[in-house]
Amino acid sequence: MNKSAELSSSEILQIYIPADNFEEREYIIRSILGDFLGLTYDLIASEGNIDYTIQFGLGKIIFKDDFFLHFKEPLTYRNINNIPETVSWLDPSPYFNENLPVIFGNNTIREEGDQIFVGLDIFASSFFMLTRWEETVIDKKDIFNRCAESEMFVVRHNLFKRPIVNEYVSFLRSLLIHLNCNILSGIRKFEVCITHDVDYLFRFGSLFSLGKNLGSDLLLRKSLRTAGRTILNYGRFKKGIIKDPFDTFDELMDMSEKYNLKSSFYFKPQLLNEYDATYSIQDERVKKILFNINQREHEVGIHPSFNTFNNPYLFRTEYNRLTSIGIPVEGGRQHFLKYDLTETPRYWEEVGLKYDCGLGFTERAGFRCGICWPFKMFDIKKRKILKLYQKPLCVMEVALIRWEPAPDKLFADIQEILNQVKKHSGLFVFLWHNDSFNRPEYENYGEVYSNVLKSI
């Protein structure tokens, strides 16, 4: 089987791969060689091929095939027993100046004439990270029935702060350059995606919500002072002196514009009688906010509700509600970061959405997919490359605040991840909820947000 990738480059590589698991192998090779490195190549799959051979002129780079060769039948690789228990390290010097974690393969590397042999199976390792297939076989769940983060490979081995796939791509780039392959340079630049999930839009939406807030002030926060301030602000709100405390949209857009950035606001397209609904997308006050965001040329996106992740009918219903308002919607993020990775991405693709940016952590900052570049998603179940792009989430504020760090520690944690993204000229996807600024328990962290924007 011979398949050419039509991508712009002045050089064409020959890529030889085994014929089994072709859809999976094609996806990850297209991602790494085509999308990430911008190379044109011929892909040749044959039963007689062993390992992955990249040939350029007289030079060859051979990566060990140490995963898919064990699973000749489609999808048989998806088993919890196939998640590695340990991690070893490859010292790739003199080609690359960092030790690389080995997910599949071994830590050998040698050069013989014009050939370089690498024991690390970067293709299966990268496929493991980008598709997140491990999450579809891990049995342990958290309280929201999501894959338990503590069980994820990069968390168990403390690798979650490293964009492993970016490192693999940089390593491959250095090997190709070593063999005098003309790799395009300067094709990526550091970018930023500032996002806000609108879980709560009104703090003073009704007397009932006022009662809930007072109950939280007295029973959870145990603060008469905070309860008094809530009553005072409610009175000022009813008199029109102040806006609702959670209506921070203009302020957020002002801050983004100050640094030549755009904000993306992801709304739940729910009605008030539905599960976990906190506002109605048909409320005229909500529509006014949506049109204001659109008029200021920021983005309105979708935040599908709690039970949409495995319900295509409900997902499409909510998508249709939001788009019927008349504002273009291209992407967003699942509420509570709830995904069924064998189903949910397909729902996004089928309604015509262009991107999702929800594959991040709920208990830490870092790189759940091992990458800080957008990438095309892969339908694990149907073995198909999707048009849908994943813009992986790097930092969600509540994932860090919940551990109650001091604001300066919170900023340092975010800065550590931001520096990694800058290092790899990646996309920094940052989530800060619109209601976090005026919640009593979060109000000390507002300055952290502005300092992150300054740092960006």
Contact between 440 and 246 (Cβ < 8 Å): no
What pTM was computed for the model? 0.93
Q: What is the pLDDT tens value at each position of the chain, 456 positions in all?
A: 444 444 334 468 999 999 999 999 999 999 999 999 999 999 999 999 999 999 988 899 999 999 999 999 999 999 999 999 999 999 999 999 999 999 999 999 999 999 999 999 999 999 999 999 999 999 999 999 999 999 999 999 999 999 999 999 999 999 999 988 877 655 789 999 999 999 999 876 655 565 665 555 555 655 666 556 656 555 555 545 557 889 999 999 999 999 999 999 999 999 999 999 999 999 999 999 999 999 999 999 999 999 999 999 999 999 999 999 999 999 999 999 999 999 999 999 999 999 999 999 999 999 999 999 999 999 999 999 999 999 999 999 999 998 878 999 999 999 999 999 999 999 999 999 999 998 877 878 999 999 999 998
Q: How many Å is the maximal CA-CA distance in the chain?
A: 81
**β-strand 105-112 against 12-18: which pairing, if any?**
unpaired
Q: How far is CA 362 from CA 269, 330, 370, in A?
A: 22, 23, 15
The pair phi, psi for residue 126, each rounded to 5°, is -70, -40
**β-strand 191-198 against 263-267: which pairing, if any?**
parallel
**β-strand 12-18 against 52-56: which pairing, if any?**
antiparallel
Q: Which fold has domain 191-202+246-455?
A: TIM Barrel (3.20.20)
Structural domain spans, the chain: 2-178, 191-202+246-455, 203-243
Q: How far is CA 56 from CA 38, 122, 268, 279, 433, in A?
A: 15, 18, 50, 58, 49
